[in-house]
Structure 1
Amino acid sequence: MPVTETGLPGAYLLTPHHLTDERGSFYESLRTEELGRALGHPFVPQQINYSVSRRNTLRGIHGVTVPPGQAKYVTCVRGAVRDIVVDLRVGSPAFGRYAVNELDAASGRSVYVPEGVGHGFLALTDDTCVCYVLSSAHVPGTQIDIDPLDPDLALPWGFAEPPLLSEKDARAPGLAEALAAGVLATWPEATRGTPSTALRSPLS
Protein backbone atom coordinates (compact mmCIF):
# COMPACT_ATOMS: atom_id res chain seq x y z
CA MET A 1 0.00 0.00 0.00
CA PRO A 2 1.82 3.17 -1.17
CA VAL A 3 1.86 5.92 1.48
CA THR A 4 2.33 9.43 0.08
CA GLU A 5 2.74 12.56 2.18
CA THR A 6 0.43 15.39 1.19
CA GLY A 7 1.53 19.01 1.25
CA LEU A 8 0.86 19.06 5.01
CA PRO A 9 3.49 17.54 7.33
CA GLY A 10 2.24 14.28 8.81
CA ALA A 11 -0.89 14.04 6.61
CA TYR A 12 -0.82 11.12 4.17
CA LEU A 13 -2.73 9.67 1.24
CA LEU A 14 -2.82 5.87 1.13
CA THR A 15 -3.72 4.02 -2.07
CA PRO A 16 -4.26 0.26 -1.76
CA HIS A 17 -3.29 -2.34 -4.32
CA HIS A 18 -6.34 -4.23 -5.62
CA LEU A 19 -6.38 -7.97 -6.33
CA THR A 20 -9.03 -8.53 -8.99
CA ASP A 21 -10.58 -11.54 -10.70
CA GLU A 22 -13.93 -12.52 -12.20
CA ARG A 23 -15.58 -12.27 -8.75
CA GLY A 24 -14.53 -8.67 -8.12
CA SER A 25 -11.65 -7.31 -6.05
CA PHE A 26 -9.95 -7.48 -2.67
CA TYR A 27 -7.67 -4.96 -0.98
CA GLU A 28 -6.26 -4.02 2.42
CA SER A 29 -7.79 -0.78 3.70
CA LEU A 30 -5.54 -0.33 6.72
CA ARG A 31 -2.42 -2.01 8.04
CA THR A 32 -1.37 -0.20 11.19
CA GLU A 33 2.24 -1.38 11.03
CA GLU A 34 2.65 0.16 7.55
CA LEU A 35 1.02 3.39 8.64
CA GLY A 36 3.05 3.50 11.83
CA ARG A 37 6.26 3.05 9.84
CA ALA A 38 5.41 6.14 7.76
CA LEU A 39 4.33 8.16 10.81
CA GLY A 40 7.25 7.16 13.02
CA HIS A 41 4.83 6.26 15.83
CA PRO A 42 1.99 3.77 16.32
CA PHE A 43 -1.57 4.44 15.21
CA VAL A 44 -3.87 2.66 17.67
CA PRO A 45 -7.59 2.84 16.80
CA GLN A 46 -9.91 3.65 19.72
CA GLN A 47 -13.20 4.41 17.95
CA ILE A 48 -14.77 3.97 14.50
CA ASN A 49 -17.47 6.32 13.17
CA TYR A 50 -19.50 6.45 9.96
CA SER A 51 -21.36 9.29 8.29
CA VAL A 52 -23.92 8.98 5.48
CA SER A 53 -24.51 12.05 3.31
CA ARG A 54 -26.62 13.13 0.36
CA ARG A 55 -24.95 14.71 -2.67
CA ASN A 56 -23.59 18.25 -2.13
CA THR A 57 -23.42 17.85 1.65
CA LEU A 58 -20.44 19.68 3.11
CA ARG A 59 -19.09 18.40 6.44
CA GLY A 60 -16.28 20.22 8.24
CA ILE A 61 -13.86 21.69 8.84
CA HIS A 62 -13.60 19.64 12.07
CA GLY A 63 -10.78 18.97 14.53
CA VAL A 64 -10.19 18.17 18.19
CA THR A 65 -8.35 20.21 20.81
CA VAL A 66 -4.94 19.07 22.05
CA PRO A 67 -5.25 17.55 24.57
CA PRO A 68 -6.89 15.11 24.14
CA GLY A 69 -6.01 15.20 20.43
CA GLN A 70 -7.35 12.88 17.78
CA ALA A 71 -5.85 11.52 14.58
CA LYS A 72 -8.20 10.21 11.87
CA TYR A 73 -7.94 7.60 9.15
CA VAL A 74 -10.66 8.53 6.66
CA THR A 75 -12.04 6.27 3.92
CA CYS A 76 -15.03 6.67 1.60
CA VAL A 77 -16.66 3.22 1.61
CA ARG A 78 -19.64 4.14 -0.60
CA GLY A 79 -19.93 6.90 -3.16
CA ALA A 80 -17.31 9.63 -3.55
CA VAL A 81 -16.09 12.77 -1.78
CA ARG A 82 -13.79 15.72 -2.34
CA ASP A 83 -11.73 15.52 0.84
CA ILE A 84 -9.82 18.50 2.26
CA VAL A 85 -7.42 18.65 5.20
CA VAL A 86 -6.31 22.01 6.62
CA ASP A 87 -3.26 22.61 8.79
CA LEU A 88 -4.52 24.31 11.98
CA ARG A 89 -1.30 23.80 13.99
CA VAL A 90 -0.08 27.25 15.02
CA GLY A 91 3.60 27.51 14.07
CA SER A 92 3.46 24.65 11.57
CA PRO A 93 5.47 25.27 8.38
CA ALA A 94 2.17 24.67 6.54
CA PHE A 95 -0.20 26.59 8.83
CA GLY A 96 -3.33 27.65 6.94
CA ARG A 97 -2.53 25.49 3.92
CA TYR A 98 -4.69 22.64 2.69
CA ALA A 99 -4.51 19.39 0.70
CA VAL A 100 -7.30 18.13 -1.55
CA ASN A 101 -7.90 14.48 -2.46
CA GLU A 102 -10.69 12.62 -4.21
CA LEU A 103 -11.76 9.59 -2.16
CA ASP A 104 -14.17 7.02 -3.55
CA ALA A 105 -15.28 3.48 -2.83
CA ALA A 106 -13.84 2.11 -6.08
CA SER A 107 -10.27 3.20 -5.40
CA GLY A 108 -10.28 2.58 -1.64
CA ARG A 109 -7.97 5.56 -1.10
CA SER A 110 -7.70 6.82 2.47
CA VAL A 111 -6.37 9.96 4.12
CA TYR A 112 -4.53 10.03 7.44
CA VAL A 113 -5.25 13.26 9.33
CA PRO A 114 -2.81 13.93 12.19
CA GLU A 115 -3.64 15.65 15.47
CA GLY A 116 -4.17 19.39 15.13
CA VAL A 117 -5.17 19.20 11.46
CA GLY A 118 -8.75 19.98 10.40
CA HIS A 119 -10.77 17.78 8.07
CA GLY A 120 -13.84 18.12 5.89
CA PHE A 121 -15.40 16.81 2.69
CA LEU A 122 -18.01 17.51 0.04
CA ALA A 123 -20.18 14.51 -0.89
CA LEU A 124 -20.16 14.04 -4.66
CA THR A 125 -22.90 11.38 -4.79
CA ASP A 126 -26.09 10.54 -2.94
CA ASP A 127 -25.82 7.99 -0.13
CA THR A 128 -22.11 8.63 0.33
CA CYS A 129 -20.71 6.78 3.35
CA VAL A 130 -17.44 7.78 5.03
CA CYS A 131 -15.61 5.75 7.68
CA TYR A 132 -13.45 7.45 10.32
CA VAL A 133 -10.99 5.30 12.30
CA LEU A 134 -9.99 7.43 15.31
CA SER A 135 -6.99 7.39 17.64
CA SER A 136 -9.07 8.53 20.62
CA ALA A 137 -12.66 8.23 21.80
CA HIS A 138 -15.00 11.20 21.59
CA VAL A 139 -14.74 13.64 24.49
CA PRO A 140 -17.67 16.10 24.64
CA GLY A 141 -16.66 19.75 24.40
CA THR A 142 -13.32 19.17 22.66
CA GLN A 143 -14.36 19.54 19.01
CA ILE A 144 -13.02 22.47 16.99
CA ASP A 145 -15.17 23.71 14.10
CA ILE A 146 -13.87 26.06 11.41
CA ASP A 147 -16.06 27.72 8.79
CA PRO A 148 -15.55 25.59 5.64
CA LEU A 149 -16.42 28.66 3.52
CA ASP A 150 -13.96 30.97 5.32
CA PRO A 151 -12.72 33.41 2.63
CA ASP A 152 -9.28 33.52 4.27
CA LEU A 153 -8.89 29.79 3.60
CA ALA A 154 -10.64 29.89 0.19
CA LEU A 155 -10.96 26.10 0.07
CA PRO A 156 -11.59 24.74 -3.45
CA TRP A 157 -14.73 22.71 -2.78
CA GLY A 158 -15.87 22.97 -6.39
CA PHE A 159 -19.62 22.92 -5.73
CA ALA A 160 -21.95 24.27 -8.41
CA GLU A 161 -24.75 25.20 -6.01
CA PRO A 162 -24.83 26.18 -2.32
CA PRO A 163 -23.88 23.10 -0.28
CA LEU A 164 -25.94 21.55 2.48
CA LEU A 165 -24.39 22.52 5.84
CA SER A 166 -25.33 21.74 9.41
CA GLU A 167 -26.32 24.75 11.50
CA LYS A 168 -23.19 24.19 13.60
CA ASP A 169 -20.87 24.27 10.57
CA ALA A 170 -22.68 27.26 9.05
CA ARG A 171 -22.05 29.39 12.13
CA ALA A 172 -18.51 28.13 12.85
CA PRO A 173 -15.78 30.77 13.23
CA GLY A 174 -13.20 31.46 10.57
CA LEU A 175 -9.53 30.59 10.98
CA ALA A 176 -8.56 34.08 12.14
CA GLU A 177 -11.27 34.06 14.83
CA ALA A 178 -10.27 30.60 16.05
CA LEU A 179 -6.64 31.68 16.14
CA ALA A 180 -7.49 34.77 18.19
CA ALA A 181 -9.58 32.67 20.58
CA GLY A 182 -6.58 30.48 21.36
CA VAL A 183 -8.37 27.19 20.70
CA LEU A 184 -5.93 25.88 18.08
CA ALA A 185 -3.06 23.59 19.05
CA THR A 186 0.50 24.75 18.60
CA TRP A 187 2.88 22.81 16.37
CA PRO A 188 4.85 21.42 19.36
CA GLU A 189 1.63 20.38 21.15
CA ALA A 190 0.22 18.64 18.09
CA THR A 191 3.49 16.90 17.24
CA ARG A 192 4.27 16.07 20.88
CA GLY A 193 7.25 18.38 21.19
CA THR A 194 8.79 17.94 17.74
CA PRO A 195 10.88 21.05 16.92
CA SER A 196 9.59 23.19 14.09
CA THR A 197 10.57 26.17 12.03
CA ALA A 198 8.87 29.33 13.26
CA LEU A 199 6.23 30.57 10.84
CA ARG A 200 4.51 33.90 10.67
CA SER A 201 0.75 33.45 10.39
CA PRO A 202 -0.62 34.22 6.90
CA LEU A 203 -3.49 35.96 8.67
CA SER A 204 -1.33 38.38 10.63
Structure 2
Amino acid sequence: MALLAIWPWLAVILCAVIWIFVEIFSPRIDPIDNQATRSRELVRQLFVVDDKRNGFRVRYITKEPVTKERLDEIQRRTSVRDSMERLRTKAPKVFGNMLLTDIYDFAGFAVQFDPADIRIHNIFVCGPDKEKLYIGENPRIENWAKWIHPESLQGLLYLTSEDIYCNTARWGKVYRYHECRGNNQISVTDEHFSHFSEEERIY
Protein backbone atom coordinates (compact mmCIF):
# COMPACT_ATOMS: atom_id res chain seq x y z
CA MET A 1 0.00 0.00 0.00
CA ALA A 2 2.85 2.34 0.86
CA LEU A 3 4.53 1.66 -2.53
CA LEU A 4 1.29 2.26 -4.37
CA ALA A 5 0.86 5.54 -2.52
CA ILE A 6 4.28 6.87 -3.49
CA TRP A 7 4.40 5.28 -6.99
CA PRO A 8 3.81 8.56 -8.88
CA TRP A 9 6.74 10.13 -7.05
CA LEU A 10 8.94 7.11 -7.73
CA ALA A 11 8.12 7.38 -11.45
CA VAL A 12 9.05 11.08 -11.44
CA ILE A 13 12.33 10.39 -9.61
CA LEU A 14 13.19 7.51 -11.98
CA CYS A 15 12.58 9.70 -15.04
CA ALA A 16 14.75 12.43 -13.52
CA VAL A 17 17.60 9.99 -12.84
CA ILE A 18 17.42 8.62 -16.42
CA TRP A 19 17.43 12.16 -17.82
CA ILE A 20 20.50 13.05 -15.75
CA PHE A 21 22.37 9.95 -16.94
CA VAL A 22 21.47 10.70 -20.58
CA GLU A 23 22.71 14.27 -20.22
CA ILE A 24 25.96 13.15 -18.59
CA PHE A 25 26.88 10.28 -20.88
CA SER A 26 25.43 11.35 -24.25
CA PRO A 27 28.04 12.70 -26.69
CA ARG A 28 27.92 16.45 -27.05
CA ILE A 29 26.83 17.71 -30.49
CA ASP A 30 28.56 20.82 -31.74
CA PRO A 31 25.91 23.48 -32.46
CA ILE A 32 27.13 23.86 -36.06
CA ASP A 33 26.35 20.17 -36.63
CA ASN A 34 22.99 20.23 -34.87
CA GLN A 35 20.80 20.89 -37.90
CA ALA A 36 18.46 18.72 -39.94
CA THR A 37 19.67 19.92 -43.34
CA ARG A 38 22.92 18.21 -44.29
CA SER A 39 24.51 17.03 -47.54
CA ARG A 40 27.87 15.99 -48.92
CA GLU A 41 29.49 19.17 -50.17
CA LEU A 42 32.26 20.16 -52.55
CA VAL A 43 35.21 21.39 -50.46
CA ARG A 44 37.69 22.43 -53.12
CA GLN A 45 38.93 21.84 -56.64
CA LEU A 46 42.70 21.48 -56.89
CA PHE A 47 44.85 21.60 -60.03
CA VAL A 48 48.01 19.52 -59.71
CA VAL A 49 50.14 20.25 -62.78
CA ASP A 50 53.73 20.31 -64.00
CA ASP A 51 55.57 23.35 -65.36
CA LYS A 52 53.82 22.92 -68.73
CA ARG A 53 50.41 22.98 -66.99
CA ASN A 54 49.68 19.30 -67.69
CA GLY A 55 48.37 17.09 -64.92
CA PHE A 56 45.15 16.48 -63.04
CA ARG A 57 42.18 18.29 -61.59
CA VAL A 58 41.17 16.87 -58.19
CA ARG A 59 37.74 17.55 -56.67
CA TYR A 60 37.36 17.04 -52.91
CA ILE A 61 34.06 16.50 -51.07
CA THR A 62 33.14 15.88 -47.44
CA LYS A 63 33.20 12.23 -46.35
CA GLU A 64 29.83 12.60 -44.61
CA PRO A 65 26.80 14.87 -45.05
CA VAL A 66 27.49 18.18 -43.30
CA THR A 67 25.79 21.47 -42.57
CA LYS A 68 26.79 24.64 -44.41
CA GLU A 69 28.42 25.89 -41.21
CA ARG A 70 30.55 22.73 -40.87
CA LEU A 71 31.57 22.99 -44.54
CA ASP A 72 32.67 26.54 -43.84
CA GLU A 73 34.76 25.36 -40.89
CA ILE A 74 36.37 22.53 -42.90
CA GLN A 75 37.30 24.89 -45.73
CA ARG A 76 39.01 27.24 -43.27
CA ARG A 77 41.15 24.51 -41.67
CA THR A 78 44.88 25.07 -41.95
CA SER A 79 45.39 21.28 -42.12
CA VAL A 80 43.21 21.07 -45.24
CA ARG A 81 45.09 23.85 -47.02
CA ASP A 82 48.46 22.38 -45.99
CA SER A 83 47.61 18.84 -47.18
CA MET A 84 46.44 20.05 -50.56
CA GLU A 85 49.43 22.32 -50.95
CA ARG A 86 51.79 19.42 -50.22
CA LEU A 87 50.11 17.35 -52.93
CA ARG A 88 50.24 20.25 -55.39
CA THR A 89 53.97 20.81 -54.87
CA LYS A 90 55.20 17.22 -54.35
CA ALA A 91 53.43 15.50 -57.26
CA PRO A 92 55.42 17.29 -60.01
CA LYS A 93 58.65 16.43 -58.18
CA VAL A 94 57.69 12.74 -57.99
CA PHE A 95 56.25 12.35 -61.49
CA GLY A 96 58.22 15.01 -63.37
CA ASN A 97 56.63 15.66 -66.75
CA MET A 98 53.00 14.62 -66.09
CA LEU A 99 51.90 14.45 -69.71
CA LEU A 100 51.96 10.63 -69.77
CA THR A 101 51.51 9.99 -66.04
CA ASP A 102 48.90 7.27 -65.55
CA ILE A 103 45.83 8.56 -63.73
CA TYR A 104 45.79 5.53 -61.39
CA ASP A 105 49.42 6.12 -60.42
CA PHE A 106 48.56 9.71 -59.60
CA ALA A 107 45.41 8.71 -57.67
CA GLY A 108 47.38 6.26 -55.53
CA PHE A 109 49.81 9.06 -54.70
CA ALA A 110 47.10 11.67 -54.08
CA VAL A 111 45.13 9.70 -51.48
CA GLN A 112 48.15 9.79 -49.17
CA PHE A 113 47.42 13.49 -48.69
CA ASP A 114 43.69 13.20 -47.91
CA PRO A 115 42.84 15.61 -45.06
CA ALA A 116 40.56 14.49 -42.22
CA ASP A 117 36.81 14.47 -43.01
CA ILE A 118 37.48 14.86 -46.76
CA ARG A 119 37.88 12.46 -49.67
CA ILE A 120 38.46 12.73 -53.42
CA HIS A 121 35.23 12.85 -55.42
CA ASN A 122 36.84 12.52 -58.85
CA ILE A 123 40.03 13.14 -60.79
CA PHE A 124 40.13 14.50 -64.36
CA VAL A 125 43.11 14.89 -66.65
CA CYS A 126 43.84 18.52 -67.50
CA GLY A 127 46.29 20.67 -69.37
CA PRO A 128 46.69 21.85 -72.96
CA ASP A 129 48.76 18.88 -74.16
CA LYS A 130 47.29 16.20 -71.89
CA GLU A 131 43.72 16.96 -73.02
CA LYS A 132 44.80 16.64 -76.66
CA LEU A 133 45.67 12.98 -76.00
CA TYR A 134 41.92 12.28 -75.94
CA ILE A 135 41.26 13.73 -79.35
CA GLY A 136 42.22 11.70 -82.40
CA GLU A 137 41.04 9.22 -84.99
CA ASN A 138 39.06 6.31 -83.58
CA PRO A 139 38.36 3.53 -86.10
CA ARG A 140 35.23 2.55 -84.15
CA ILE A 141 33.64 5.99 -84.52
CA GLU A 142 32.61 7.81 -87.69
CA ASN A 143 33.19 11.56 -87.63
CA TRP A 144 35.12 11.31 -84.37
CA ALA A 145 35.31 14.42 -82.18
CA LYS A 146 37.94 16.95 -83.21
CA TRP A 147 38.13 19.06 -80.04
CA ILE A 148 37.32 19.13 -76.32
CA HIS A 149 34.83 21.69 -75.05
CA PRO A 150 36.36 23.48 -72.01
CA GLU A 151 33.06 23.47 -70.08
CA SER A 152 31.53 20.06 -70.83
CA LEU A 153 34.93 18.25 -70.71
CA GLN A 154 33.28 15.57 -72.83
CA GLY A 155 35.70 12.83 -73.80
CA LEU A 156 38.29 13.51 -71.11
CA LEU A 157 39.68 10.68 -69.00
CA TYR A 158 38.56 10.63 -65.35
CA LEU A 159 38.13 8.41 -62.28
CA THR A 160 35.31 8.29 -59.73
CA SER A 161 35.80 7.93 -55.98
CA GLU A 162 34.89 4.23 -56.29
CA ASP A 163 37.70 3.75 -58.82
CA ILE A 164 40.12 5.55 -56.54
CA TYR A 165 39.28 3.98 -53.19
CA CYS A 166 37.69 0.63 -54.08
CA ASN A 167 39.78 -0.53 -57.03
CA THR A 168 41.34 -3.97 -56.56
CA ALA A 169 43.58 -6.10 -58.74
CA ARG A 170 40.77 -8.67 -58.86
CA TRP A 171 38.43 -6.41 -60.81
CA GLY A 172 41.11 -4.54 -62.73
CA LYS A 173 41.36 -0.87 -63.61
CA VAL A 174 38.54 0.98 -65.33
CA TYR A 175 39.41 4.08 -67.35
CA ARG A 176 36.39 6.36 -67.84
CA TYR A 177 35.68 8.95 -70.55
CA HIS A 178 33.41 11.79 -69.51
CA GLU A 179 29.93 11.99 -71.09
CA CYS A 180 30.71 9.26 -73.63
CA ARG A 181 28.30 6.44 -74.51
CA GLY A 182 28.14 2.68 -74.85
CA ASN A 183 31.42 0.85 -75.29
CA ASN A 184 33.23 4.18 -75.61
CA GLN A 185 32.57 5.32 -72.05
CA ILE A 186 35.11 2.95 -70.43
CA SER A 187 38.24 0.98 -71.32
CA VAL A 188 40.76 -1.28 -69.58
CA THR A 189 43.73 0.81 -70.73
CA ASP A 190 44.32 4.53 -71.15
CA GLU A 191 43.26 5.00 -74.80
CA HIS A 192 44.60 8.08 -76.56
CA PHE A 193 41.95 8.98 -79.13
CA SER A 194 38.39 10.36 -79.34
CA HIS A 195 35.66 8.47 -77.52
CA PHE A 196 32.66 10.29 -78.98
CA SER A 197 31.54 11.61 -82.35
CA GLU A 198 30.73 15.16 -83.38
CA GLU A 199 27.07 14.09 -83.58
CA GLU A 200 27.22 12.97 -79.93
CA ARG A 201 28.73 16.25 -78.77
CA ILE A 202 26.78 17.79 -75.86
CA TYR A 203 27.69 21.36 -76.88
Please report the TM-score for the alignment, with normalisation by the length of structure 2.
0.25
Greater strand fraction, Structure 1 or Structure 2: 1
Please report the TM-score for the alignment, with normalisation by the length of structure 1.
0.25
Q: Computing the radius of gyration over CA atoms, which structure comes out larger, 1 or 2?
A: 2
Greater helix fraction, Structure 1 or Structure 2: 2
